[in-house]
């Protein structure tokens, strides 16, 4: 998709080609630099993968660890054996599904209403949503407020505070302002209510922006670590929070000198892989939309 945007379309004959068709020194330098970038960004992932499946005896006996060396699923088995992990994964699933659905629906509803040109108070709404982007109260007041609301250890404290993110609200509003208004006006005159217009016209025709919102909110719920750790007890921890806490436990075990048949580095790598793989699995499916949406978010946000 990006390629098509950068390259001139085929039929028009344009002298400038952004890439070289013939050998040249400049081309070699550019491609070599990009090769270095590729290795620097991709190798850490491969390294984590190699380590996570490296058998303990191979790990100990070799003095270099940068290449794959043997194969074992011991570390992943050890992670999966943890009795509490399935529950944590279930929590992740519930949180991502509930949170993302509510986030996307509420953001788009608010953005749709705010994009109606005749609505009174649109300016006020803009100000209401923009101030939190530039001034936040900070950690402690937030924590005290949540406690005052009595939401500590409540599942909804993981969902409601970020219900509508100001940034994505503005992105969605910008998209809906650009949306052909005649269709909405015409349907309204035909007697359809705003809710009906929203569900039957606006929602189905704005799937790219919905996909972007869903991906960004969903990733946010999957990745969120700090507040989950602080605000709720272990029963409500999502898989990443739980997995990360396992690292500290194994650290303790190692310090006690027990469990010598495992390399902590490999265990850490296996945990890292478990955190990354779910993101990797969905990323290719939404990449196309999300790249568009990220650009939009950066330009308009």
Partner 1 sequence: MPARRTLARSLRKDWVLYFMLLPGVIAILLFNYGPMFGLSVAFLNYNPILGIAKSKFVGFKYFADAIGDSAFRQALVNTVVIKVGQTLVTFPCSIILALLLNEARPWYKKTVQTSTILPFFLSWIAIAAMFSDLLSPTSGVVNEVLMKGFGMQKPIAFLSSNDWFRWVIIFQDTWKMAGYFALIYLSAIAGIDPAIYEAATLDGCGRWRKIWYVTLAGIRTTIATMLVLLMGYLIIGPFEQVFAQYNSAVYNTGDVIETFAFRLGLTSQKYGFATAIGLMQGIVACVIVLVTNFFVKRSESSVSVF
Site for partner 1 in 58-117 (CB under 8 A): 59, 63-66, 102, 106-107, 109-110, 112-114, 116
Tokens matching residue 233:
């007890």
- The least CB distance from residue 5 to partner 1, in Å, is 4
- The least CB distance from residue 111 to partner 1, in Å, is 9
Question: How many residues lie near partner 1 (CB under 8 A)?
Answer: 105
* Given 23, 87, 163, 199, the residue binding partner 1 (CB under 8 A): 163
Please, which of residues 258-297 interact with partner 1 by CB under 8 A?
263, 265, 268-269, 271-272, 275-276, 279-280, 283, 287, 291, 294-295
- Give CA angle at 289 (283, 295), nearest 5°: 105
Q: Residue 255: CB partners within 8 Å, gap ≥ 6? A: none
Q: Residue 286: CB partners within 8 Å, gap ≥ 6? A: 211, 212, 214, 215
**DSSP three-state, residue 119:** coil
- The least CB distance from residue 180 to partner 1, in Å, is 19
Does 257 engage in binding with partner 1 (CB under 8 A)?
A: no
- The least CB distance from residue 260 to partner 1, in Å, is 15
Please, which of residues 126-145 interact with partner 1 by CB under 8 A?
128-132, 134-145
* Given 125, 177, 192, 201, the residue binding partner 1 (CB under 8 A): 125
Tell me how far apart the alpha carbons of residues 44 and 42 are, in angstroms, rounded to a whole number.
Answer: 6
Q: Name the residue nearer to partner 1 (CB basis): 130 or 201.
A: 130
Q: Name the residue nearer to partner 1 (CB basis): 226 or 261.
A: 226
Tokens matching residue 27:
């081309």
* Given 11, 23, 40, 261, the residue binding partner 1 (CB under 8 A): 40
Helix ranges (DSSP H) in the chain: 2-6, 25-52, 56-61, 74-81, 85-114, 122-134, 139-148, 166-178, 181-189, 194-197, 203-205, 207-223, 226-231, 239-255, 264-300
């Amino acid at each position: 998709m990006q390629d098509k945007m950068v390259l001139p379309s085929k039929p028009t004959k344009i002298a400038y080609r952004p890439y070289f068709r013939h050998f040249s020194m400049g081309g070699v330098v550019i491609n070599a630099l990009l090769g270095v970038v590729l290795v620097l960004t991709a190798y850490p992932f491969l390294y984590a993968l190699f380590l996570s499946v490296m058998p303990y005896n191979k790990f100990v006996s070799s003095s270099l660890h940068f290449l794959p060396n043997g194969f074992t699923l011991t570390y992943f088995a050890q992670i999966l054996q943890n009795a509490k992990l399935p529950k944590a994964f279930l929590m992740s699933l519930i949180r991502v599904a509930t949170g993302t659905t509510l986030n996307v629906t509420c953001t788009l509803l608010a953005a749709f209403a705010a994009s109606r040109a005749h609505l009174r108070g649109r300016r006020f709404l803009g100000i209401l949503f923009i101030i939190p982007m530039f001034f936040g109260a900070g950690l402690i007041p937030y924590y005290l407020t949540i406690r005052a609301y009595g939401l500590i250890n409540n599942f909804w404290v993981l969902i409601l505070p970020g219900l509508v993110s100001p940034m994505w609200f503005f992105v969605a509003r910008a998209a809906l302002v650009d949306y052909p208004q005649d269709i909405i006006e015409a349907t309204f005159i035909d007697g359809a209510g705003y809710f009906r217009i929203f569900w039957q016209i606006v929602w189905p025709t704005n799937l790219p922006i919905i996909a972007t919102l869903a991906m960004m909110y969903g990733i946010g719920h999957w990745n969120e670590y700090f507040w989950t750790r602080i605000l709720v007890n272990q029963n409500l921890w999502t898989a990443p929070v739980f997995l990360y806490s396992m690292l500290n436990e194994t650290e303790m075990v190692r310090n006690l000198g027990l469990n010598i048949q495992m390399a902590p580095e490999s265990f850490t790598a296996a945990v890292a892989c478990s955190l990354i793989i779910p993101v990797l699995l969905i990323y290719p499916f939404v990449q196309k939309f999300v790249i568009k949406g990220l650009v939009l978010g950066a330009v308009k946000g």
